[in-house]
Amino acid sequence: MTKEERHEMIMEALIKHGSVLVSDLVSMLNVSAVTVRKDLTELEKSDKLYRSHGKAVLVNPYINNRPVNEKEKHAADEKHAIGREAARLITRNDSIVIASGTTVHALARNIQPIHKLTVVSASLAVSNILSQHDNIDIIQLGGLMRHSSLSVVGEYAARFLAQCSFSKLYLGVDGIDLDYGITTTEIREAALNNKMMDAAEKTIVLADSSKFGRRGFAKIADMDAIDIIITDAGVSPKIVKKLEDMGIELIIAE
């Protein structure tokens, strides 16, 4: 078997399973572990996979922080559909808190309340979008503004949240790892998101399907702290089954 044939078989296995152990590749390819590791190193240098703890995964699970205008362009149609489904969950006289991120921007654009609504927001963009509605009372959290996300973080915002009670939290995340939990790329944002979860009766995570199997630097919470996840049709049946087993309601936006 040539090196090119081995590489092709490795990629086929990754596309099928998402990740594969080095030991399984040794058996599958009938070569030494040294040969497999060399193959994985070459494929990683070509940005075709990511090596981690004796296995290879199809994509790098760790996410770098990116400016909000760059994130906005990614999966724009999926985010709009997710935002539309999220807005449908808002009920009469709701009091909701909205975190930061481009997917919650899509939520804000889809909110068309016919009744009174109170919104507390960490995102300047969300507050600006909602300001066109006279029947929405908007409370913009104060604190230190993050330039990359145009949202606030810090103790000032956390102290305010400690005095509030919300029916729903709409939370955007950078990563959802079913074993590790939900994450973001910024530790101060993770801390504020956690305070939002404490203040809300229900936590609703908005995330396009590319966020599954990924991790940001800072952990927000374990999976059992989530009530609902709204995502797009790109989520794998395997993940859908695991979420059902965890008792997390999954809404797939078409």
| Per-residue model confidence as pLDDT tens digits over 101-160 | 889 999 999 999 888 999 999 999 999 999 999 999 999 999 999 887 889 999 999 999
- Share above pLDDT 90 across residues of the chain, in percent, rounded to a whole number: 73
- Share above pLDDT 70 across residues of the chain, in percent, rounded to a whole number: 94
Q: Inform me whether the pLDDT recorded for 73 exceeds 60.
A: no
pLDDT of residue 60: 63
**CATH assignment of 68-253?**
3.40.50.1360
Label residue 176 by pLDDT band (50, 70, 90): very high
**Comma-separated ranges of CATH 3.40.50.1360 domains in the chain:** 68-253
pLDDT of residue 239: 94
Label residue 240 by pLDDT band (50, 70, 90): very high
Q: What is the mean pLDDT of residues 3-15?
A: 89
**Comma-separated ranges of CATH 1.10.10.10 domains in the chain:** 3-57
Q: Inform me whether the pLDDT recorded for 70 exceeds 70.
A: no
Q: Inform me whether the pLDDT recorded for 206 exceeds 90.
A: yes
Q: What is the mean pLDDT of residues 171-198?
A: 94
Class of domain 3-57: mainly alpha
Identify the bridge partners of residue 140 per DSSP, sorted by sequence position. Answer: 121
Mean pLDDT computed over every residue of the chain: 90
Q: In this predicted model, which residue has the larger pLDDT, 218 or 48?
A: 218
pLDDT of residue 59: 66
Label residue 72 by pLDDT band (50, 70, 90): low
Label residue 74 by pLDDT band (50, 70, 90): low
Q: Inform me whether the pLDDT recorded for 46 exceeds 90.
A: no
Q: Inform me whether the pLDDT recorded for 68 exceeds 80.
A: no
